[in-house]
Structure 1
Amino acid sequence: MDNSMPVVSKFFCSSTSTTLMIRKRPIVVNGGGFVVTDLSNNVVFIVDGCGILGSKGELLVKDSDGERVLFIYKKGGIVQALSTCNKWNGYSMDYQGKDKLVFSLTDPKSCITKGAPIRIHIEPKRHCKNWDFEIRGSFADRECTIIDCTGKIVAQMGKKEQIGNKDFYYVVMQSGCDKAFIIGVMAVLDNINGESTTC
């Protein structure tokens, strides 16, 4: 039975649960961002932030071959400036370089909405509520969970205890989960929290 939940591509969905390690790159080396490896230390994804891309609020997820998989940017403009939330849009990129909106993420930015959950909408719209995924917990403390609109956990983040610092952490993804999508969400959370993808 196929239980895959593709957002970016079915290619990134695994039939078993997967643990990926995330290692931040120093901002002075290659402009920041982070590297994602499997438990055998093989590179799976590379995330570039504004240090490489040259623009704040832009993120790029590449596969292990350096091919662009997901381009994410923070919406701007007067409407966004007046909004109580920041909105990020994620676009999948095909082999011809064309992009297609696959998700949007909104995070509260004002004291009025403080404590409101970060929610993700998938495109084309398919949510069972007015959102598809919700992020709970604290990214800064490396204790956050991504749930779907039915309440099922799809990914969980934790610290790598034996390393002893925040430069390494892991994400456990349930079977069928789109790994590229989850890493894209981690990239946005990293940027929101002013970590390795920011300038």
Structure 2
Amino acid sequence: MRFHKRRLSLHQRWEGFVGERTDGQKPIFSVKRSSIIGRSSLTVEVNDNPEEYQIEGSFAQRCCTILDGKQQSVAEIKRKVDASTNVVLGKDVISLLVKPGFDGCFAVALVLVIDQINGDDFDEGARVEVVDPLLVNSNISSSE
């Protein structure tokens, strides 16, 4: 998936495409700031889907929630904590908790776009751990 930044007006818009962008190709989704004043939430529009998502919180602090159109949490971005020592790991190590029914690949794509919007380019060694909430309750974790 590739991302392309486009200035349409005072709002900045980031668009996600499958593969390399070609002429006339529509983006799969676009992300823009909900307000041009300050660092407010982000609005996510998905093509061929009337529902919009909101991203609330502070990505700089690695603490965000992705909300669906009903303002229900569908994914959460948090700093990773080492379970054995209760130590918060570096800001380039995050956990992404994806609720059942929400596309995990789409959630990871949103994390990458939010990172670009905030100008916090992840280091090459940065990791995103996608956590299955069904496994969290059984004290088993999965990471990729």
TM-score by length of 1: 0.51
Give yes or no for contact 2:35–2:41 (8 Å, CA) kept in 1.
no
Q: Distance in 1 between matches of 2:93 and 2:39?
A: 26
TM-aligned CA deviation for residue 74 of structure 1: 0.5
The aligned counterpart of 1:161 is 81
C-alpha deviation, 1:156, in angstroms: 0.3
The alpha carbon displacement at 1:117 in A equals: 2.1
1:71 aligned to 2:9? Answer: no
Structure 2 residue runs without a partner (length 5+)? 20-24, 83-87, 124-144
Cα pair distance change 1:144/1:88, threshold 3 Å: same
The number of equivalent residue pairs is: 115
Identity percentage over the alignment? 27
Conservation of the 8 A alpha-carbon contact between 1:118 and 1:136: yes
Unaligned runs of 5+ in 1: 1-69, 94-98
The alpha-carbon distance between structure 1 residues 118 and 92, as it changes in their structure 2 partners (threshold 3 A), is: same
Q: Tell me which residue corresponds to 1:175.
A: 100
- Name the structure 1 match of 2:46: 122
Return the alpha-carbon distance in structure 2 between the equivalents of residues 91 and 134 of structure 1: 20
Equivalent residues of 2:11, 2:32 under 8 A apart: yes
**Secondary structure of the corresponding residue to residue 81 of structure 2:** coil
Displacement of 1:173 after TM fit?
A: 0.2
CA contact (8 A) 1:72 1:184 kept: no
- Which letter does structure 1 place at the counterpart of 2:30? S
Deviations 1:124-178 (CA, angstroms, capped at 9, x unpaired)? 1412xxxx10001101111100000111111001111225311211100011111
Match of 2:14 among 67, 83, 88: 88
**Alignment counterpart, residue 148 of structure 1, candidates 53, 62, 68:** 68
Distance 1:189 1:145 in 2: 12
Q: Which amino acid in the other structure matches residue 165 of structure 1?
A: G
**Aligned residue in 2 for 1:63:** none
Q: Distance in 2 between matches of 1:165 and 1:185?
A: 20
Please report how far the alpha carbon of residue 109 of structure 1 lies from its aligned counterpart in structure 2 after TM superposition.
7.3
Partner SS, residue 18 of structure 2: strand
SS at match of 1:184: helix
Deviations 1:15-65 (A, max 9, x none): xxxxxxxxxxxxxxxxxxxxxxxxxxxxxxxxxxxxxxxxxxxxxxxxxxx
Residue of structure 2 in register with 1:193 after alignment: 118
Residue type matched to 1:147 in 2?
Answer: L
Q: Are the structure 2 counterparts of residues 171 and 187 from structure 1 closer, same or farther at C-alpha, using a change threshold of 3 Å?
A: same
